[in-house]
Amino acid sequence: MANKSLVPEAKEALNRFKMEAASDVGVTLKQGYNGDLTSKQAGSIGGQMVKKMVESYENSIKTR
């Protein structure tokens, strides 16, 4: 599967979300390519993103 967004318009919002998650875990991202990150750093960013998505979903179902 290609690394292609289902909603191309969401690309900038997803990038801001990724930058925020990276900041939360103390990793500095550059604009553009960040292939010099360690696996631990990249995993920390991804894990933080998932944590925030789960929290957001849980909060949304509480308010229904």
Q: How far apart are CA 34 and CA 55, in angstroms?
A: 26
| pTM over the 0.95 mark | no
**Which tokens go with 14?**
């997803």
pLDDT of residue 9: 86
Let me know the angle formed at the C-alpha of 20 by 64 and 39, rounded to the nearest 5 degrees. Answer: 115
**pLDDT tens digit sequence for 28-58:** 999 889 999 999 999 999 999 999 999 999 9
Measured in residues, the chain has a length of 64
Distance (Å) of CA 48 to CA 1, 8, 21, 60, 64 = 23, 22, 6, 18, 25
pLDDT of residue 52: 97
pLDDT of residue 2: 64
